[in-house]
């Protein structure tokens, strides 16, 4: 078995375990295009996985304004997923280009 196939299998197992122990996880995507998060504001339910996908030719990252989360740099087509499990309003920005801002509103 190749290493990547093994990883996939591990991931699948992990997902099955997760799926079995909690409510069905939802996922939503925020695109990074032309130095902007799109949509800039999104409301999700607690427990939702938000995936940020960079479509630019320039790397970006995702930093929560409260300083608790900082993604690695996302090169073109890289993505970063984070589970928003607590209700509240979460402002985030790009740590390289801080004029790029967005907000995830998490409802119970």
Partner 1 sequence: MKSNKKGNGVDRRQALECMAWAGSGLLWTLSGGVPGARVIGGAEAAASGFSFVQISDSHIGFDKPANPNALGTLEEAIAKIGALPNKPAFLIHTGDITHLSKPQQFDDAEQRIARARLETHYVPGEHDIIDENNGQAYLDRYGKGSKGKGWLSFDHGGVHFVGLNNVFDLKAGGMGNLGGDQLAWLADDLNGKSASTPIVVFAHVPLWTIVPEWGWGTQDAAEALKLLARFGSVTVLNGHIHQLMQKVEGNVTFHAARSTAFPQPAPGTAPAPGPKLVPAGELHGLLGVTSVAVKGGRGPLAIADSSLAG
Q: Which residues of the shown chain bind partner 1 in the complex (CB under 8 A)?
A: 34-36, 56-59, 61, 63, 65, 70, 72-73, 75-76, 91-93, 95-99, 101
Question: DSSP assignment of 75-101, as one string?
Answer: -TT-EEEEEE-S-EEEEEE-SSSTT-E
What's the min distance (Å) between Cβ of 107 and partner 1? 22
Q: How far is the CB of 13 from partner 1 (least distance, A)?
A: 27
Closest CA to 93 of 81, 84, 104: 104
Question: 11 vs 40, which CB is nearer to partner 1?
Answer: 40
Q: Least distance in Å: CB of 104 to partner 1? A: 13
Please say which residue, 18 or 91, places its beta carbon nearer to partner 1. Answer: 91
Residue 74: strand pairing partners: 60
Q: How far is the CB of 48 from partner 1 (least distance, A)?
A: 22
- List the Cα angle 59/65/66 in 5-degree steps: 135
What span, in angstroms and rounded, lies between the C-alpha atoms of 61 and 84? Answer: 17
Residue whose CB is less far from partner 1, 16 or 58: 58
> Closer to partner 1 at the Cβ: 47 or 73?
73
Host H or E run for residue 70: none
């Amino acid at each position: 078995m190749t290493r990547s196939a093994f990883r996939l299998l591990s991931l699948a197992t992990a997902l099955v375990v997760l799926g079995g122990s909690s409510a069905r996880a939802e996922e939503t995507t925020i695109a990074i295009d032309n130095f902007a998060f799109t949509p800039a504001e999104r409301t999700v339910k607690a427990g939702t996985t938000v995936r940020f996908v960079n479509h630019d030719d320039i790397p970006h990252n995702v930093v929560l304004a409260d300083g608790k989360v900082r993604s690695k740099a996302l090169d073109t087509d890289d993505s970063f997923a984070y589970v928003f499990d607590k209700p509240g309003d979460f402002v985030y920005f790009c740590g390289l280009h801080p004029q790029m801002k967005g907000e995830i509103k998490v409802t119970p």
